[in-house]
Structure 1
Amino acid sequence: MEPIQVHKGKAVVLDRVNIDTDQIIPKQFLKRVERTGFGQYLFYDWRFQADGADNPAFELNQPEANGASILITGHNFGCGSSREHAPWALYDYGFRVIIAPSFADIFYNNCVKNGLLPIRLSPEETELWMERAKESQEEITVDLGEQLIKQNGLETKFEMDSYWKQMLYNGWDEISLTLQYEEAIAKYEHRQSAVNK
């Protein structure tokens, strides 16, 4: 997993609430077993019309959204079923940071475990960054170490659990974290094998 320490990127606004995992990645695209390749189906029912053509009204299809790596959206993002495919699709599409007033708990955890940084801000702070992203195409800097979002003099602190922060900052999944204690585990196993002889 790639570490996230300081991320700079363009933001796109999806000003909707209660976006569930079925909207993020519709069920008909869940047959793949790899983690990659889901980005093309992200928000499929919104991004595309019935004939498969791009929906020109959808936010991610606007020219200014091209290349965005920060998604700013409404509360309760990622609600619905607990499918891990939702963060896979967001990551594969190119997003690395998601800013919202609230997230579904399981979705939030799945994001962190898959290298996406979910940031909770107050509704007022989220609205402020939505407006900023709509007004300016300038990159936003997200500093995980400082827990700070900034752009042109506007700065907002965010909270994050120290465990999840450590995982994202170092690019660790749970196996990587366990391997940090490999030497201690080996010593313990050696002692136990000696006791059990």
Structure 2
Amino acid sequence: MMKKLIYSTVAVVGMVGSANAAIVNATADCEIGLTPPAGVTCATDNARRNLGNVEFSTAGDGDFFSLGLGGSATFEINPQFTGNGVVVEVTFGGASSSHNEAAEIYVSSDGVNFSFVTTVDNQGSTSSLQASMFNVGAGPFSFIRFIDVSQTTFSNTRSSDGFDIDAFSVQAVPIPAGALLLPTGLIALQIARRKRRA
């Protein structure tokens, strides 16, 4: 009986420990209903101003959020993340389009102090969906921010609403094996105590 309980506890804790990261909060300059900050040009189409279009995924579905020229979006991720990530951008016509777009990626542990990671753009693919890989470093981090730099990266861009995020994903920080075994050990100790008393 005790072995069964311990094994089932290990299985449940193991599943929790391997859970994927997910978006728990998001803010942006160009959300529907918001007046953008000075210098930010948002999409005029409300479908492109819907921050809910951004999926936590490695593949896009064609629905996207436009950062706005000079705009940004910040996402809080739980559990914390580290290592590799991917962002999927939408540009109809792909790299052959004159709508050249780029964004800088930043990460933070506290949501206040952000560190630059890399710049991604829509120039690598002829399809409408452009997946760009990046590495955020060792972390752990809780926040990721995308800032549109289309006009400063491409002086001749015809983009009117900036980098378009369809989806992005980052790698959850793995839970140490010892942390997974702690609840199991505590349960086993409690069962052993009860048996001694009985």
Larger radius of gyration: 2
Structure with bigger strand share is 2
TM-score by length of 1: 0.27
TM-score by length of 2: 0.27
